[in-house]
Structure 1
Amino acid sequence: MKKTIKVGAILIAAVTCSVNSFSADQLTVAQGYDPQNLDPIDTFRLSWGSIGSNIFEGLIQRDETLKLSPGLATSWDFLDDNSRIRFHLREGVKFHNGEPFNADAVKYTFDRLLGEQGMKGPQRSNYTSIDTVNVVDEFTVDFVMNQVDPVLITKLAGYGAMIVPPKYIEQVGEEAFDRKPVGTGPYQVVNYEPSVAVELKRFDDYWNGTAKTEFVTIRFIAEPATRMAELMSGGIDISLNIPSTSVEALKNNKGVDLVTVPGPTVYMMRFKTTDAITADPRVREAINIAIDRDVILTALLGGFGETIASAQGERSFGFDPSLEKYSYNPTRAKTLLAQAGVKPGTKITLDIQNNDETFREVSQVISSYLSQVGLDLSIRSNDSNIMSSDLIPNGKTGELFLFAWGGWTFDFDNTAYLLYHSGERFNPYIADETLDALLEQQRGTYDREVREKALQEVSQYIRSNHLELPLFNTAAMFGVSKKVSGFTPAPDDRVRYMDVAVED
């Protein structure tokens, strides 16, 4: 049943329903993580991308093959020696509340992102190369740049750059927008209950066609075993975040397909480099070579992924194929620890998230490996939101902390700058002038050769100083019911449901 809610001068079409009220023409999806906030500037999580990509759009689109194409902008031109980028906007587009998309909406989006509201979230630092956004006319805007940004066009296709409605936000407020956002995408938000589900309904005035399924319910099922049981019993149609421990069971289930694609997500352990025994590079190298990554990849991840030498996979721009991976060498690890004065039985702590079953097991195996070289590793399990919003940014971790990074731009800049540049949110411990200079150098040019060389030097510097412990580049894995048609796996987990249908 539809009803109309009046908020100020804006009419908002709403649908009254509950999580289990949809029956026909519905797709049910499960994912392990809830972003806890649907505002695109308030999160960096892939769990937002798999929801927000159906609600919001940017000036640029990127499809599942990573190809960039026009989105809410039909074209763009680099002007004034690249110091200004002019975007020509698509006409006839509406937000879900009926508000028109235009140049004012684009300016509002980036003023908000780069202003006080954006400073509260993690996305702003991706877009600080933009000085101002100026309205030229109703469907033309100029981005005035304060520096070159060779990754900007890609970044405009995702996350913080999603275009939002000025009037709606100003009238309902920021907190309401977190829970009931409005975009221009093929689906609109009906209801969002944190930690339970988000319900979407087809937006019939969508400018780029009509979604095949009217309703999409995305359930948050943190426990992997429960999620897999629901998938294999037919309770859900698609599941993201497939644990490696369920791969064989899915392969043997006649009603479900396991769909995989090489992804951007890398797993690593990062070091507290400012104090404790991990301030010593010999200790960091010892821990790196005390772990047999190949065995873990095969035994616990089912071989779905690759071991890595740096915080990126082969598809990432800036990847250095010559960078040597750490080789398993427990004998040398013991020697290095002895040289560093570390006594057998020394206790250290690894912080992990409490909702990742696979990497709980990985952590246990790592603990066993480290015990063989004389380190007593304690594993501390944390709420994922507390870990990302408090422990890491405020430098409260143990000597090691497990870190997953979805480098969705497939450009190492977006990973390396945020992880290694001094003062960045996810870099509580490294402050290094050499790294800062390299990172700024590659951000200051559109020359791909210069950028690639600088980014490879960043990886080499991290490796030579043993500043982190790279583990795996994982595959993106999806469980899909055989009743589902039109599903395309997204390497960056930004799954789109517009063309997906479910047979009765």
Structure 2
Amino acid sequence: MQVRKTRVFTHSLLASALMLGSVTAYASTLTVSSPQDPGSWDPIDTFLVNWSSVATNIFDGLTYRGPDLKLVPGLATAWEELDKGSRIRFTLREGVTFHNGEPFNAQAVKFTFDRLLGEEGARGPQASNYSAISEVNVIDDYTVDFRLAQPDPVLLTKLAGYGAMIVPPQYITEHGDEHFNRNPIGTGPFKLADYTPRESVRLDAYEDHWAGAPKLSQVNYRFISEPATAVAELQAGRVDIVIPPTIPIGMIDTIKNNPSLSIVSVASPTVEALRFNTKSGITADERVRKAIIMAVDRDAIIDSILAGEAQSIASFQGALSFGYDPELKPLPYDPQQAKSLLKEAGIKPGTQLQIDVRGNDSTFGEVAQVIASYLQMVGLNVSIRPYETNVLLNDIIPAGRTGDMFQQKWGGWTFDYDNTAYLMYHTGERWNPYDSDPKLDKMLEEQRSLTDQAKREQLLQFIARYTQDRVLEIPLYNVNALYGVNNRVQNFQAAPDNRLRLNEVYIAE
């Protein structure tokens, strides 16, 4: 057996990384406004940032990545790569229990990943993120081996979120998947106490959490989809934190001018794009897609609508993403060239074009209206169709039933272009209902197998250039994460990826 690399971490390092030092529980309640009910609390059912904003407090993964973006131990205290990287051995934390008292152990880890990579996981959106794992083998009660079908340079980060959250075998076996969707059990610092779909979820402190009891006794999440309502509730003191992407740019000054409130702005991985139906309609023509991009002044949108709280992008990733190419420039704003390309493609003035958007995203609603105006100036007649967010994401886009263009907001929470590019461009993926490109598929698969990070970065940068050449979307901007926070909230750390761990937060009386 060959040992390639060993990394061992102690509980004290994790405690420092999570800012966990106190076991004192404070009798206080925090109320958070979240724009969306994810609809299921099962980690393998979701891709939504709003799920993670809540569920990061319910579940733990083998690894953990906090607001500082450093990867540290979670339910695993150490890991080592064996057999030239084809196997990873995890040493598990002892003495941990799920919220129902069920013990955490190696069997729970195996159950979690067998379920994720099996029939149940195949029905959800997370399995493809973990396809490098061929099997999980139990060595003893607190040791597991992950055997890899191929290398995955981002796997340890993926184990810190979403589908990799560890779930309780006995509880799920006894109650079933549907029950678990609404009544999740994890090992996290808070346990679900009450859930009213589309309205709210209440979490109570789990005082037996392995890293110590939370300082808050309770966290209430209210699902408020209307931004103006969320800000009004913040101003009235009925909400303590409003999480991204709720706050409209136009309401930043309203919050700043209130002496009891603050705006916290942090660079995020979140990028916005309008993606194309490349299969049918006028946007099946690459010349039309290029013309649409060149017709839109994206820098003006950032300055006028987003108040500078965003950066322009040339590919569907921000500057913090591994694979970002600072030398790659966006296609220029050139309405005359756009008109020439449309004429060359035989598109007549007044041709109809439909853009599908998330109906509760007021800021992007403004952006879409401006884009429609730009496109009208080059002869396209644009209609904007708003959808309820869950309908757009769960039904319209995956089924390939969008208009010519559709809004895609992507968290890119791993800060690695693989997590975006593979899911957006690989044939058959949920977010790629229209396009199939064997050459692109091959490159996406190849970069996952590279252990040389410099070579992998070069290939990811080439993929970004290739997708720009194929004009698969309008890359719009990388937006900052904006939090509205009541000043009585203490120890708050704004998470770039919206995954707020609230166990060290408390309320100043």
TM-score over 0.5 for the pair: yes
Measure the CA separation in 2 of the matches of 1:322 and 1:194.
Answer: 46
Contact kept, 8 Å, 1:268 with 1:472, in 2: the verdict is: yes
Are residues 1:212 and 2:193 paired?
Answer: no
Are residues 1:70 and 2:73 paired?
Answer: yes
Name the SS of the counterpart of 1:81 in structure 2.
helix
Name the SS of the counterpart of 1:264 in structure 2.
coil
In the alignment, residue 180 of structure 1 is paired with which amino acid? N
Unaligned runs of 5+ in 2: 1-25
**1:202 offset after TM fit, Å?**
0.3
**1:273 offset after TM fit, Å?**
0.7
* Counterpart position of 1:103: 106
Are residues 1:384 and 2:380 paired?
Answer: no
1:236 corresponds to which of 235, 239, 242: 239
Are residues 1:178 and 2:181 paired?
Answer: yes
Q: How many residues align?
A: 482
Are residues 1:247 and 2:226 paired?
Answer: no
In the alignment, residue 191 of structure 1 is paired with which amino acid? D
Measure the CA separation in 2 of the matches of 1:297 and 1:326.
Answer: 16
* Counterpart position of 2:282: 277
Measure the CA separation in 2 of the matches of 1:326 and 1:249.
Answer: 35
2:466 corresponds to which of 447, 461, 468: 461
In the alignment, residue 359 of structure 1 is paired with which amino acid? F
Measure the CA separation in 2 of the matches of 1:131 and 1:446.
Answer: 18
In the alignment, residue 211 of structure 1 is paired with which amino acid? P
Measure the CA separation in 2 of the matches of 1:244 and 1:177.
Answer: 37
**1:61 offset after TM fit, Å?**
0.7
**1:297 offset after TM fit, Å?**
1.0
Are residues 1:412 and 2:417 paired?
Answer: yes
Name the SS of the counterpart of 2:121 in structure 1.
helix
Contact kept, 8 Å, 1:265 with 1:474, in 2: the verdict is: yes
1:294-313 aligned within 5 A: 294-313=299-318
1:337-348 aligned within 5 A: 337-348=342-353
* Counterpart position of 1:227: 230
Name the SS of the counterpart of 2:201 in structure 1.
strand
* Counterpart position of 1:8: none
Contact kept, 8 Å, 2:135 with 2:147, in 1: the verdict is: yes
**1:146 offset after TM fit, Å?**
0.8
Does 294-303 or 164-173 show the bigger shift? 294-303
In the alignment, residue 501 of structure 1 is paired with which amino acid? Y
* Counterpart position of 1:9: none
**1:236 offset after TM fit, Å?**
0.8
Measure the CA separation in 2 of the matches of 1:487 and 1:288.
Answer: 39
* Counterpart position of 1:478: 483
CA offsets, 1:108-129, max 9 Å, x none?
0000000111011100110011
* Counterpart position of 1:264: 269
1:347-366 aligned within 5 A: 347-366=352-371
* Counterpart position of 2:3: none
CA offsets, 1:257-292, max 9 Å, x none?
100110011000000111211111111111001111
Measure the CA separation in 2 of the matches of 1:121 and 1:428.
Answer: 15
* Counterpart position of 1:136: 139
In the alignment, residue 65 of structure 2 is paired with which amino acid? R
**1:164 offset after TM fit, Å?**
0.3
Are residues 1:196 and 2:199 paired?
Answer: yes
Contact kept, 8 Å, 1:40 with 1:162, in 2: the verdict is: yes
In the alignment, residue 503 of structure 1 is paired with which amino acid? A
Does 293-302 or 196-205 show the bigger shift? 293-302
**1:245 offset after TM fit, Å?**
1.9
Runs of 4 or more consecutive aligned structure 1 residues displaced over 4 Å after TM superposition: none
Measure the CA separation in 2 of the matches of 1:441 and 1:449.
Answer: 14
* Counterpart position of 1:20: none
Name the SS of the counterpart of 2:462 in structure 1.
helix
* Counterpart position of 1:320: 325
Measure the CA separation in 2 of the matches of 1:64 and 1:410.
Answer: 12
Are residues 1:46 and 2:49 paired?
Answer: yes
In the alignment, residue 439 of structure 1 is paired with which amino acid? L
* Counterpart position of 1:5: none
1:293 corresponds to which of 298, 309, 334: 298
TM-score by length of 1: 0.95
CA offsets, 1:342-385, max 9 Å, x none?
00000011111111111111111111010000000111111211
* Counterpart position of 1:14: none
* Counterpart position of 1:84: 87
**1:485 offset after TM fit, Å?**
0.5
Measure the CA separation in 2 of the matches of 1:145 and 1:180.
Answer: 32
Measure the CA separation in 1 of the matches of 2:347 and 2:484.
Answer: 46
TM-score by length of 2: 0.94
Measure the CA separation in 2 of the matches of 1:55 and 1:390.
Answer: 27
**1:428 offset after TM fit, Å?**
0.8
* Counterpart position of 1:18: none
* Counterpart position of 1:56: 59
Are residues 1:124 and 2:110 paired?
Answer: no
Contact kept, 8 Å, 1:438 with 1:457, in 2: the verdict is: no
**1:326 offset after TM fit, Å?**
2.1
**1:24 offset after TM fit, Å?**
5.8
Name the SS of the counterpart of 1:126 in structure 2.
helix
CA offsets, 1:200-237, max 9 Å, x none?
00001001012111000011001000000010111111
Contact kept, 8 Å, 2:27 with 2:216, in 1: the verdict is: no
Measure the CA separation in 2 of the matches of 1:478 and 1:33.
Answer: 15
* Counterpart position of 1:498: 503
- Percent identity (aligned): 53
Contact kept, 8 Å, 1:247 with 1:302, in 2: the verdict is: no
Contact kept, 8 Å, 1:39 with 1:178, in 2: the verdict is: yes
Name the SS of the counterpart of 1:121 in structure 2.
coil
Give the root-mean-square deviation of aligned CA atoms.
Answer: 1.0
